[in-house]
Amino acid sequence: MHHCVGSYSGRVMSGSTYIYRVLEPERATLELCFNNSTGAWEIGQLHLVCNGTPLNVTRESVAKWLEKEKLQELRRVA
């Protein structure tokens, strides 16, 4: 995807960040970050190839998935 997500390995290993591949409605890379203040997982970054900006429909789709899976209620394990 030609972006620097590989440099986030330390955050992934610490459990404070997760990286997901989004396939629809556009192919994108999603970073979920744990917010210590709220105790919830939040969208950190969402980018297309070469750090392109996704359409609103893609951002909305990811937000709906996050809500559906109730990932915002999970506690960070680290």
**pLDDT tens column, 41-53:** 899 999 999 989 9
Tell me what pLDDT residue 77 has: 47
The two beta strands, 40-47 and 28-35, are: antiparallel
Tell me what pLDDT residue 60 has: 95
Tell me what pLDDT residue 20 has: 93
35-42's contacts with Cβ under 8 Å and 24+ in sequence apart are 36/76, 39/75, 40/72, 40/73, 41/66, 41/71, 41/72, 41/74, 42/72
Q: Are 13 and 7 in contact, with CB atoms under 8 Å apart?
A: no
**Mean pLDDT, residues 30-56 taken together:** 90
Tell me what pLDDT residue 78 has: 44
Tell me what pLDDT residue 14 has: 86
Tell me what pLDDT residue 76 has: 46
